[in-house]
């Protein structure tokens, strides 16, 4: 009969090694998305509250683009490796607000990737135009590597 103990030990070690090698996704740092927008997350506290700045590559307005602040929240920052998060960008150069929600993944190559969806609310003068005031979309962010 096959001894169960060594078999269990091997299984335990294999699972342990796999668990240890899983890279955690960390929101802090510089990110670029599929539109070419840049985002920097600078602070993240123990409660998962974070802040940073956003430089969009595009705008729905004719205004000159300026760096804008962002504030967000990440779920269980000290636990599971691929957390969900949300953040708001309060645009400095327009009357609009964007909310993003997403998840921070680590792909098969160990590369971090933020899969997000967003709602961009533009200001309209008249309630009759409310129906066309919200845009929706997706953005995928990857980490901007340090330039040597």
Residues that bind ligand BTN (CB under 6 A): 33, 35, 37, 56, 58-61, 91, 94, 96, 98, 118, 120, 137, 139
CA 35 to centroid of chain Cα atoms: 15
Residue among 77 and 94 whose Cβ is closer to ligand BTN: 94
Least Cα distance to 135 among 25, 32, 66, 58 occurs for 58
Tokens at 133, concatenated: 């005031």
Q: Minimum Å distance from CB 38 to ligand BTN?
A: 9
CA 123 to centroid of chain Cα atoms: 25
Question: How is the chain split among helix, strand and coil, in percent rounded to 5?
Answer: 15, 45, 40
Residue among 50 and 91 whose Cβ is closer to ligand BTN: 91
Residue among 95 and 107 whose Cβ is closer to ligand BTN: 95
Rounded CA gap, 48 and 134, in Å?
Answer: 28
Residue among 34 and 107 whose Cβ is closer to ligand BTN: 34
Q: Minimum Å distance from CB 135 to ligand BTN?
A: 7
Q: Minimum Å distance from CB 58 to ligand BTN?
A: 5
């Amino acid at each position: 009969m096959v001894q169960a103990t060594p078999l269990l030990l091997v299984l335990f070690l294999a699972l342990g090694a796999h668990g240890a090698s899983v890279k955690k996704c960390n929101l802090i740092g510089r990110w670029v998305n599929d539109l070419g927008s840049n985002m920097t997350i600078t602070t993240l506290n123990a409660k998962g509250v974070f802040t940073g700045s956003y430089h969009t590559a595009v705008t729905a307005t004719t205004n000159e683009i300026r760096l804008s602040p962002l504030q967000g929240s990440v779920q269980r920052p000290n636990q599971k490796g691929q957390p969900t998060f949300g953040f708001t960008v309060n645009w400095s150069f327009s009357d609009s607000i964007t909310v993003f929600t997403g998840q921070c993944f680590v792909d098969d190559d160990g590369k971090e990737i933020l899969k997000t969806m967003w709602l961009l609310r533009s200001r309209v003068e008249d309630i009759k135009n409310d129906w066309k005031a919200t845009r929706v979309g997706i953005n995928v962010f990857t980490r901007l590597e340090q330039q040597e």
